Structures are given as structure tokens and as C-alpha cells.
Structure 1
Amino acid sequence: MSALTRTNILSLYRSFLRVIERWPTDYLRPNRNLKHILHLRVTEGFKQNIAVKDANVLRALVLDAEVELDALRRLAENEFKEKYPLSDRIYRPAANPKYYSGLVAAIDKTAKLKQEADLKPSLWKRLGFWTRKFFWN
């Protein structure tokens, strides 16, 4: 593999990592973090293909990775949300005009409560000291 190709692949890898770093965190589902899954997929994908020596296969892999990177960038930058904006009629349906604003407020409230709960020790951890002290001695 030539130095130029290696440099291009490393640059492509770093571009993936920069886009993934900007990806928002989902506080409602911390166990299903898309940012983490994307990072794992990219690192594993590049590791699996590190031994590829065939120039045609390598070129095809790089082209596929560039297409995926472009799609990921477009999603991260909300390109389609800006390109195809939704009308006010969608956000405020006649049957229940406050539905979506209430839904967003409820999600934000739940996320905030989830973050606060993660900071507090669990009941079992707080009781653990007492159960060990009185029941196991």
C-alpha cells in the first residue's frame, strides 16, 4: 500500500470519528447509544480491512466508506430537516394542536429526571452498608 493511499485511509477514518463525536447522545436510552455503536462499527470495519492488499478491493472499500461517511454527515447536520421542512400543520394538528410540544416537553423532563437519577446512588447501594453490617456479621 502506498503512503498516499495509507494517508487517505487514515484521513477517512479520522473523518468518521469526527462526525461520530458530534453525534448527539440519547439520554432516554443510555444502553442503546447509537454514537457508541457507530464508533464500534467504524473501528471494527477499518480493523477488519487493514490486511487488504488488492488495489481494486481497497478502492471499492474506500468508495463505500466515503458514501457512508457522506450519509452520516448529512444526518448529523440535519441536512434533510432543513431541505424538506415540515409545515406548521404537521407540528400542530387541528385535532390536538399542543400534542407535539407536550410530547417534547415530556421527553425533556424524563431525560432530566433520568440524568438526576443516575447521579443518586441506588436504594440497594445505600442499603448495602446496613445489610452487611447487621445481617452478615
Structure 2
Amino acid sequence: MAATRYRHFLKLCEEWPLDETKWGRDLGAFLRERVAHTFREGENTQISDPETCDQMYDSLARINSNFYRYKYPRLRDTSFTEVTVEECRMVLATDSMKQMEEAKKGLWKKLMEKFSQKSPEERIK
């Protein structure tokens, strides 16, 4: 039975899209990591709670197949802010998030980083 669960999760991982603009924060990449971690031994992995595993698979499969999108259709493709899907994707991209973090820094922090001997990564360590 564990072998069929493993195959189901592998198929789900193949079908789940990867969003290259969200490296480090992509749900598809996280899902692949969790499946690899959970099924370390492949088809021979023993699942401690098969019921929960099946529920997780069913939930993820419904999300991947857009079950709720078709069950509860929206009148428009925008939110109350009138922001389109493409604009949301652009704002949520990792590059945009880094630019916003950089813009949030105050003048004093920018000057300290510029004239500091150590890089910000070295100071954290």
C-alpha cells in the first residue's frame, strides 16, 4: 500500500507547477522536498499514519486540479483592490520582494552597510 501512495505523490509532484519567480518560497518545490523527505526509502517506506497521508494527498490533489476554483467560480479575475493576477505575480516574485526590502531600509542603515567593513551576511554570523 505504501508503494501506491508513493507513486501517487510522485505523480502529483510531476503535475504540480514550479514557479521560477519564487525561488526559495515556491509551494511546488516545498512539496517535492517534503515528499522526498517523507518517502526516503521510496516504495519501501512505512507510513505511520496512512489515513492522514491519504487525506493530505486528497487535499493536495484537489488544490492542484483547481477543484475549488471551479466549484466556487469568481465573477472577475481581480480582487477588491482591482489588482490583476499578473500584477500579483509580479509583486510576489522574489526579486520584487528583495527590492521592496531594500527600499524599506532607512538612510542610516544604507550608509552603515556602505561604509561597513563586513558584509551584512558576515555580521549576522
TM range (shorter): 0.5 to 0.7
| Distance in 2 of aligned mates of 1:12 and 1:100 | 39
Instruction: Tell whether the 8 Å contact from 1:20 to 1:38 is kept in structure 2 after alignment.
Output: yes
Instruction: Tell whether the 8 Å contact from 2:2 to 2:45 is kept in structure 1 after alignment.
Output: no
Give the secondary-structure state (helix, strand or coil) at the position aligned to 2:39: helix
5+ residue gaps, structure 2, are 94-125
Q: Which of 6, 20, 27 pairs up with 1:34? A: 27
- Deviation, 1:70, is 0.3
2:70 is matched with which residue? 82
Q: Which of 44, 67, 79 pairs up with 2:55? A: 67
Scaled by the length of structure 2, the TM-score of the pair is 0.57
1:91 is matched with which residue? 78
- Deviation, 1:105, is 5.3
Q: Which has the larger radius of gyration?
A: 1
Scaled by the length of structure 1, the TM-score of the pair is 0.52
1:132 is matched with which residue? none
Percent pairwise identity:
24
User: 1:100 and 2:83 equivalent?
Assistant: yes
| Distance in 2 of aligned mates of 1:46 and 1:92 | 38
- Deviation, 1:45, is 1.7
Please give the root-mean-square deviation of Cα atoms over the aligned residues, in Å. Answer: 3.3
| Distance in 2 of aligned mates of 1:105 and 1:24 | 19
One-letter amino acid of the structure 2 residue matched with residue 85 of structure 1: P
| Distance in 2 of aligned mates of 1:13 and 1:92 | 37
Q: Aligned pair in 2 of structure 1 residues 70, 106: CA closer, same or farther (>3 Å)? A: closer
Question: What are the superposed Cα offsets for residues 57-76 of structure 1, whole Å, 9 maximum, x if unpaired?
Answer: x5x61111111100010000
5+ residue gaps, structure 1, are 1-7, 53-57, 112-137
| Distance in 1 of aligned mates of 2:45 and 2:61 | 27
Bigger drift between 38-47 and 63-72 goes to 38-47
